[in-house]
């Protein structure tokens, strides 16, 4: 085998290993979360966005599900200080209603990225902290991941 062919074979092996690692990462973590907080220009209010980045082929269960099925997605803002939430958390779009063969019931889910938004008022700028705990479950039609929770903390920094 020539050096050029050996180098090409080695390159392809490394490339394939990289794709395999990326695919494994997606399966191990089918949903990744992001918290984005945007205070208003005057620093008296703001809006938070929680983004669910869903791996293709997987789905994230809805906010309300019937008993006996998978765990519904839920958000908990307990522990937040110095802020007052002025509305309920709302998804940017409605979840799909699907007859789920694995659970033998009609369930709701998102099968692509989705954002949830909520407005707030800043009551104490020096001590404003938003804490968000999201609990969720994901499946791909053949298997499910156990319910999981992730925590986010945003500390407001007042402009001086």
Where do the domains of the chain lie? Answer: 29-155
Beta bridge partners of 159: none
pLDDT at 21 > cutoff 90: no
Give the strand order in the sheet containing 129-136. Answer: 74-76, 129-136, 148-155
What CATH number is given for 29-155 in this structure?
2.60.40.1250
Q: What is the dihedral of CA 120, 43, 125, 49, to 10 degrees?
A: 40
- pLDDT at 61 exceeding the cut of 60: yes
Least confident of 15-19, 40-44, 54-58, 129-133: 15-19
Chain centre to alpha carbon of residue 48 = 13
- Bridge partner residues of 42 (DSSP): none
Tell me which of 12-16, 78-82, 149-153 is least confident: 12-16
pLDDT band at 158 (very low <50, low <70, confident <90, very high): confident
């Amino acid at each position: 085998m020539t050096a050029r062919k050996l180098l090409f074979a080695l390159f392809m092996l490394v490339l394939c290993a990289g794709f395999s690692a990326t695919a494994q990462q997606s399966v191990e973590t089918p949903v990744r979360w992001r918290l984005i907080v945007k205070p208003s220009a005057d620093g008296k209010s703001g809006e938070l966005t929680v983004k669910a980045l869903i791996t293709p082929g997987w789905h994230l269960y809805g906010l309300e599900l019937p008993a006996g099925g998978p765990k519904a997605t839920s958000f908990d803002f307990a522990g937040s200080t110095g802020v007052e939430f002025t509305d309920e958390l709302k998804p940017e779009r409605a979840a799909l209603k699907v007859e789920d063969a694995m659970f033998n019931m009609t369930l709701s889910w998102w099968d692509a990225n989705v954002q949830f938004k909520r407005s707030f008022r800043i009551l104490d700028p020096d001590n404003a902290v938003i804490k968000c705990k999201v609990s969720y479950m994901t499946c791909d039609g053949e298997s499910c991941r156990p319910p999981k929770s992730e925590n986010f903390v945003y500390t407001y920094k007042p402009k001086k």
